[in-house]
Amino acid sequence: MRVTPRRGEHVLLCNVGGSIYAVRDMCTHDGGILGFGDLKEEVIECPRHGAKFDVTTGKAVAPPATAPIRTYPVRVQDGQIEVDLDA
Ligand code: FES
């Protein structure tokens, strides 16, 4: 799920085995929108050139991207997903 907080940085929420992870929704290779890619277990594939990232750590796990994507702390409380954008 792609969300846009008031500050404008797109954030992607990923459900991995029932746990929610939040990452910046922008590929570090050339700005692809990761939210349009496929999430298989903890790995999301960029739809533009196929880079892959581990959404639990942000680490790039397949080229052409080498830099990690930003991750954000997440807390689920009373059915609400809270993302700390300042961490
Ligand atoms: S923009 Fe994502 S792999 Fe190129």
* Residue 85 pLDDT: 86
For residue 30, tell me if it sits in a domain.
Answer: yes
Let me know if residue 85 belongs to a domain. no
Question: What range defines the domain where residue 19 resides?
Answer: 2-75
Q: How far is the CA of 17 from the centre of ligand 1 (A)?
A: 25
Question: What's the CATH number where 29 sits?
Answer: 2.102.10.10
Q: Let me know if residue 55 belongs to a domain.
A: yes
Does some domain include residue 83? Answer: no
pTM of the full predicted structure? Answer: 0.92
pLDDT at 5: 66
Give the residue from 31, 37, 11, 36 showing the smallest Cα distance to 22: 11
Q: Which atom of ligand 1 is nearest to the CA of 32?
A: 1
The preferred substitution site among 12, 24, 25, 27 for testing ligand 1, maximizing ligand atoms within 8 Å of CB, is 27
Write out residues with Cβ below 6 Å of ligand 1: 27, 29-32, 46, 48-51, 64-65
Q: How far apart are CA 71 and CA 60, in angstroms?
A: 12
Q: Please write the tens of the pLDDT for every residue from 32-65.
A: 999 999 999 999 999 999 999 999 999 999 999 9
How far, in Å, CA of 56 to CA of 62, rounded? Answer: 15
Mean pLDDT of the chain: 93
Q: How many domains does the chain have?
A: 1
